[in-house]
Amino acid sequence: MAAVKHGLGRGLGALIRDTPVEAAPVTAPAGSGGPLMVDVARITPSPFQQRRVFSKEQLDELVASVREHGILEPPLVRKVEEGYELIAGERRWRAAREAGLKQIPVILRVASDREAMEIGLVENLQRTDLNVIEEAEGYHALADQFSLTQDEIAKKVSKGRASVANALRLLSLPKEVKKFMAEGLVSAGHAKVLLGLATELEQCRMAERVIKDGLSVRDLERMIQHSRKVTRKKTPGKEDIPSSHLVYLTDKLHQHFGTSVHVQPCRTTANGRKVKGSVAIDFYTNDDLDRILDLLGLTERG
């Protein structure tokens, strides 16, 4: 995954300052001048939280820190009917629960749904990276629920409009591909290449190839370029192998040879003429070629 982002311009502090909030009608203990102490059990997660994956390793480290030093930076919350709702700081709240703390310090703010979502999104972008799909879903939520334009979203999170637009494009990928991305199996660079494919079937197949064969972005680009060259040579007509069966055959060949196999089915043109098909097997070293030849029964044996 990408490194943690820093320096998002206006950032969380600026966004909070720009938000027209006022102190809630609950105050910290007299004379303390500090944050409000709240029962951990009375705090609930934000319904606008875009982060879906919390690293167990990072959370365990934070739990150990909380046990040793307590909560050094209070989460941001707003008052709701049943208690308090997080605006920012869910990892710290989770760590406090696991560490067995009964109360934690919080900063209380009055914030609308839109303000709470904006602040939470920026906080996640600054502190611990959202995966690329979570980030895109956060932008989509701002656009969908609050009718913000891409320019407005970009200003809210201090990013370029192109970055927001590119992130949103990722949401048009098939569910399976987005799952691969959320799990870190397919990168944003791979995804941008996959967006250039015409069908969801092609996008899923190529995403699976990326994972199975460990393809780099450049490898994926080359594979797609090769596929398009073959496609341009086709004459009008009908492929003799149904696409669903072609996917099955390709996967079986891939499993058998342990490398990418490209099957171009034969075709019947509009005038009834047959156009030949082809099978291309990738190899990367001479040893790899020898292994494939052996599987084909073509290796000389003593």
Among residues 85, 90, 115, 134, the one annotated as catalytic is 90
> What is the Cα–Cα distance from 124 to 42, expressed in whole angstroms?
22
Strand pairing report for 76-80 and 103-109:
parallel
Backbone phi and psi for residue 37, each to the nearest 5 degrees, phi listed first: -90, 125
What is the residue whose two structure tokens read 């809210």? Answer: 156
- In eight-state DSSP terms, residue 38 is E
- Tell me the sheet residues that pair with 263: 279
How many C-beta atoms lie closer than 10 Å to residue 246's C-beta?
18
SS3 at position 44: strand
61 among known catalytic residues: no
Q: How far is CA 180 from CA 131, 139, 191, 193, in A?
A: 11, 20, 10, 15
C-alpha dihedral, 22 to 27 to 33 to 36, nearest 10°: -100
Catalytic residues: 90
